[in-house]
Structure formats: structure tokens, C-alpha cells
Amino acid sequence: MKMVNGGVLKRILKYTKPYIIYLILALVMAIINVSTTLYTPILIGVSVDRILGKGNVDFQGLLPILTGLGALIVTTAVSQWLMGLCTNKVSFHTAEDIRTDAFKRLQTVPLKFIDSNRHGDILSRVITDVEQISDGLLMGFTQLFAGVITILGTIGFMLTIDFKITAIVVVLTPLSLFVASFIARRTYNMFKLQSETRGELTSLVEEMISNQKVVKAFGYEKESQKKFEEINSRLQKYGLKATFFSSITNPATRFVNGVVYTSVGITGAFLAINGNISVGQLSAFLSYANQYTKPFNEISGVVTELQSAFASAKRVFDIIDQEPQTPDAPNAIEIEDADGRVSFKDVYFSYRPGLKLIENLNLSVKPGQRIAIVGPTGSGKTTIINLLMRFYDVDSGEISVSGYPIKEIKRDNLRSLFGMVLQDTWLKTGTIRENIAYGRPDASFDEIVEAAKAAHAHGFIKRLPQGYETRVSEEGENISQGEKQLLSIARVMLTLPPMLILDEATSSIDTRTEIKIQRAFAKMMEGRTSFIVAHRLSTIREADLILVMNKGKIIEQGTHEELLEKGGFYADLYNSQFEI
């Protein structure tokens, strides 16, 4: 655990380097704050000595002391405020940078990482866990700085009064450190489990909320409630244990501090009786003994908070440490005028080692051809699209576009050559206009309207309260699924790239509108290489080439009529859609 925490702490400190000036200022303010705080007991002790005995009150001598006390109080307050300001700057900017790096890495990790992790857990790491890091740093910088300086300063001031009592305090101090260390070792694992379970719970809640209609449609409420309660119960158990271990730190160290304070009081009383120190000095010593032990309570709290921060940081750094997708080759090119040729040569691919999917796939597509890909679920239709767009890289073999292997083309450039309309539509939170212009933010309003008209979306958009300025969310609650799909189609109509990918692009549209969209697609596909993934085989009759896939292999290919004449797998698949 020490090695883990040490490595995590070093990484966190690296993130604070750009804000070193604020750290230095915080340290200076901490020194000033502690110095003024520790000098106060000296003045109070002198004041006590000036009022001992009946009729011996030195009012004239007290006035400058009280003035000094007032100045110390103001200085203490200002320095504490400035120290808090500086530590806030460091903590929140550091958290911002860590969160930014985590989000950047999510943009570059292979799609496999996103697909294989619960999305709610990823959200929890980037948002909640980074907040835990910020809280730990804030408490750490504020109280650790002041605490360490207070301990050192107090020892210095106590040594100027009496060496013997100071020795008693210093000898008993390790007891407090031992207790805090003993408990801290047992809190890390609990905080780690708490963070992981919190991520699991976030994932479940996100899943249930985003798919609430499906949950209700299948009567899954009770099951989801049971699952929630089970995870929530574990979170409560881990949270309780983590809180228990962290909460006993303070009472335990306070007990040790009480022993120290009592020892100082008894020893100091005997010394005062024997005339070795004055009553004022004893008063100052007791104040110092109290101030000396107080930082140990705060530091024990800091240690507990840091355990939580380290556990959270480990989860965030796990994202940042993910291997990014294979970078573009140093000499990667950009294709300006793609001619639409696409070829697959001896391509092999599987999502998981040992579980074969695409094997020895060979395909040659001529410019402007319309290629339909059909086959049963799990046959590899969408996988071909994933490979073509380099969402996943092939295990072996080669895919080429316009004669260039796609691994030699910059990813951004490669993906800009394709316009995609998927079955699962997605809208960003924003206006209708912004969603259509997603691929071309600089498009004029007239161009956006023309694209919407071509996609037969203009009519329903004009009926919306604010027309093209109507705001929609990611879920698109204020528009139907079919309307969402029309907007997705309009998005591609606006960019009109040289190649198209249509994955069940009209699955949520009524038959009448679908006919219009198919005509629009036909016009859009003229001169463009198009890949059409379809389940409804009636929509691909006009395709230049139909690829029939099963278990990752192309088992038949030809035109609609040719495949029907063969009477093979495609014919059976096609006829089954019309059986009564």
C-alpha cells in the first residue's frame, strides 16, 4: 500500500507543479499564521505575570501588550485567508488538470476500453473520484502545511521557556503518530472498496434511468430495486467501515494528547512551585502543549482524507494510464480526393482472443458501387463497418481505401471520407441547427435548411416551437425516434462525403417517409461508394452487390436477382421475411 500511495502521491504532486507559486505563497502564509499564533501565548503569559497579586495590576504595561495582541489577531486572520485562497487555487486547478487528462485519454483509448467498462463507472471516476482528490488535496495542503509548521514552531518556543517540559512533550509525541499510522493502514482498503462500489452504483443508476422505458416495459422494477439495494448495502457497509476507522483516529490521538497535556501541567506545576518558571510561563507552556498536540489530530484527519484521495486517484490514473489507440503512422497521409475504391484482403479479426469472428475476408469494391451487407445477427455485418472506420484494427490482413492501406491514412481524414447514419441515433444537447451542422459547424443556415429538406426533416422542424433553434437533449425527449433519425440523415446530407455507411438508417421511420428517404438516399448515393447494412431485405434490391455473411464469412455475393436464382442462404433469408 505504501508503494502504491507513494507512486500516486508523486503523480499528484507533478500536477501541482504549474501552480508552485501558489504553493510557495501558501507555505509563507502558513509560516506567518503559525508564527503569530504561537507568539500570542508569550504575550498572554507576560500579561498574566503583570496582573499577579492583589493591587499589582500593571495597567500601563498591559496597554502595549493588548495592542500587540490585536495586531497579531488581524495578521493571523489575513494570513489564514490568503493561505486558504492559495490552497484552493492549487487544489481546484490540479483537479481540473487531472479531469482534463482523464477526458483526453477517453478520447484516444481504443473503443474496446469503452465497450468493456461500465459507462457509469467511467463517469464516476472522471467526476466523483476527481472531486475526492480535490477534497483530499485541499485538506492536505491547508492542514498539513500549518500542522507541520505549528509542531516545529511550538517546539522552538517551548525550548525558550524550559527544556525539561519540552523533552516530555517530544518523547510522548510518537505515541500519537503510531496510533494514527496504525489506523491509517486499515482505512485505505475500505476507501478503495467504497470508491469502486460507488462507481458500480453510479453505473446501475445511469443504466436504469437511461433505459427506464425498457425497465418498465419488461416489469424489471423489482429486480432493479433488488440489485440497487444489494449494491447500496455494500456501499453502506464499506462506507461505515471506512468512516469507523477514520473516526477513531481523532479520539485515539486526542487521548494521547490528553496524556501529554496532563504530563505538562503536572511537571510545570512542580517547577512553578519551586520557582523554576513563572505562572505566566506555565500558562504559555500549557497553551503551547495544547497547540502542539492539536496538529496531530488534524494531521490524522488529513491522513484519513488522503487515504480516500489516494484510492480515488488510483482509479482515475487507471484511465489516464490506459494504452491509447495505435497512433497514426509518422508518415500518415491525408486523402483529398477519394475515388471510393475499397478493398479487404485476407482480413482476420476477433473482439476476444480465441473467439473467432472475421476470417480470411476478401472484398473489392469499385468506385460508386452500392454494397449491401446482410446476414443473421452476429454474422459480422457491423464489425466490417467498425474495421472500415478503424474503430477497431484488424488482427491481420489489410483494408485499403482509394488504393492506400487505411493504417497509412490519418484516422481523422479516413473517417471524414465516410458519412454514417446508424440505427442507434444520437443527438447532442443543443439546438436542431447545431445537431444538423455537427459535422460542418461553419455551414450556413441556408445549407442546413437544404440538408433538412433533402432528408424530409424540414416539415417537422418548422412545426417545433422555435423551429431550427429548438433545443433537444441527448435523449431527444421532445422529438420522436423517427424524427431523431431524420436529423441524423440530414447531418450526413449536409457533409456529403465521398463514401456512405447506412446501418439500418430508416429502421425508425414510417413506410411513407421511408420511400421518400430511399429516393433521397438514391440521389445522395449517385457516384458515391455506399455500404448498406440491412435487415429488411426489401430495401436493398437496387444494390450493385449484396454480400451475404454468416459466422464472419461472406458465403454468397451477387445482385438481388442473382442470389434469388441461386436459391441459397439469401433466398431463404429473403423469403422468410414474407412468410405468413
DSSP 191-238: HHHHHHHHHHHHHHHHHHHHTHHHHHHTT-HHHHHHHHHHHHHHHHHH
Q: Does 226 have pLDDT greater than 70?
A: yes
Please indicate whether the domains covering 11-320 and 342-576 agree at the CATH topology level.
Answer: no
DSSP one-letter code for 327: P
Which range, of 61-65, 223-227, 384-388, averages the lowest pLDDT?
61-65
**Can you tell me the mean pLDDT for 243-266?**
75
> Kind of pairing, strands 342-349 and 396-401?
antiparallel
Q: What is the mean pLDDT of the chain?
A: 80
Specify the long-range contacts of residues 83-87, CB closer than 8 Å, at least 24 apart. 83/26, 83/29, 83/30, 83/33, 83/142, 83/145, 83/146, 84/142, 86/22, 86/23, 86/25, 86/26, 86/29, 87/22, 87/26, 87/137, 87/138, 87/141, 87/142, 87/145
Identify the pLDDT of residue 398. 92
Other CB atoms within 10 Å distance of the CB of residue 83: 23
DSSP one-letter code for 401: E
The closest alpha carbon to 298, from 336, 257, 268, belongs to 257
Torsion angle in degrees (nearest 10) through CA of 140, 143, 147, 153: 120
pLDDT in tens, 74-130: 988 898 889 888 888 888 888 889 888 988 888 888 878 887 777 778 888 888 888
Homologous superfamily of domain range 11-320:
ABC transporter type 1, transmembrane domain (1.20.1560.10)
Instruction: Evaluate whether 520 touches 486 at the Cβ level (below 8 Å).
Output: no
The set of cell numbers assigned to 428 is 447532442
> Kind of pairing, strands 396-401 and 404-405?
antiparallel
> Taking the CA atoms of the chain, what radius of gyration do you get in angstroms?
35
Looking at the DSSP bridge assignments, the partners of residue 203 are none
Per domain, the residue ranges of the chain are: 11-320, 342-576
Q: Where are the alpha helices (DSSP H) in 538-578?
A: 560-566, 569-576
Instruction: Evaluate whether 379 touches 350 at the Cβ level (below 8 Å).
Output: no
Q: Which amino acid is at 130?
A: V
Q: Does 300 have pLDDT greater than 60?
A: yes
Q: Does 505 have pLDDT greater than 70?
A: no
Name the percent of the chain lying above pLDDT 70.
86
Query: Which of the four CATH numbers 3.40.50.1000, 3.40.50.300, 3.50.50.60, 3.40.50.920 does domain 342-576 have?
Result: 3.40.50.300
pLDDT in tens, 436-490: 888 888 889 999 999 888 888 888 888 888 889 988 876 556 777 778 888 888 8
Identify the pLDDT of residue 174. 66
Looking at the DSSP bridge assignments, the partners of residue 400 are 343, 405
